[in-house]
Amino acid sequence: MVRRDRHPSARRPSGPFRVITPPRNVIGTRAAPFPASWRLPVTSRIHRTGVAIALVALGILAAACGADTEVATATATATGTTTTLAPDLRPRTIVPVTLHEWSVVTEPGVAAPGPLLFQVANAGTLEHELVIVRTDLAAATLPIRDGIVDAEALEVAGEVEAMARGERVEAEFGLEAGAYVLLCNLPGHYEAGMRVAFTVR
């Protein structure tokens, strides 16, 4: 987030200060011209003018740089999802996943390697979860133990825990190139058909 520093409130000088007024003529009421000792030399006035112009130029340059920084930060935040330039700056690819009885639907079923933002929606009437497994096995041939996929025998790349009916969850996982299976691993759900192949390339 772009943060902006809070400017301190203006304060009046706390110390005593003296007001100097020019001398007045003894006869008239018009002020006499300032004595020569009160006037700055020409070179001093030129120097002060040059310093003022330099300060104004520096202020404009700093403001422009600050604006560029804010734009860059805002752009990085808005696109905020790609990690090719650096691990934190690649734009994320959105992967929508819908869980039904008894299927897992994602479109498209292919994504590029990197951080993937899975937008998971439970459109069923029961609780469901999403487990991402990296494997070269076909989606329907994963090892089963006690009615669920034997996750200990596989490489689990990510998981979204049990979701209530109608719930939506976003989760980001960094996936490397390879073959994956998206599945629900609540008891009996995988065997009932809640699985789909997913490819990262």
Verify that 102 and 163 share a domain, yes or no: yes
Verify that 99 and 192 share a domain, yes or no: yes
Question: What's the whole-model pTM score?
Answer: 0.57
Verify that 97 and 189 share a domain, yes or no: yes
Looking up residue 141, the CATH number of its domain turns out to be 2.60.40.420
Verify that 74 and 103 share a domain, yes or no: no
Verify that 154 and 55 share a domain, yes or no: no
The encoded tokens of residue 75 equal: 């752009």
Residue 116 above 70 pLDDT? yes
Q: What pLDDT, in 10s, does the model give residues 179-197? A: 999 999 999 999 999 999 9
Q: Is residue 163 part of a domain?
A: yes
Buried b (16+ CB within 10 A) or exposed e, 71-109: eeeeeeeeeebbbeeeeeebbbbebebbbbebebebeee
Instruction: Please say which residue of 20, 53, 79 terminates a domain.
Output: 79
How many angstroms from the chain centroid is the CA of residue 16? 50
* Backbone dihedral angles phi then psi of residue 118, each to the nearest 5 degrees: -85, 120
* Greater model confidence, 26 or 113: 113
| Confidence band of 149 (pLDDT split at 50, 70, 90) | very high
Residue 77 above 70 pLDDT? no
Domain that holds residue 41: 36-79
Q: Which amino acid is at 125?
A: T
The total domain count for the chain is 2
Residue with tokens 């469901």: 128
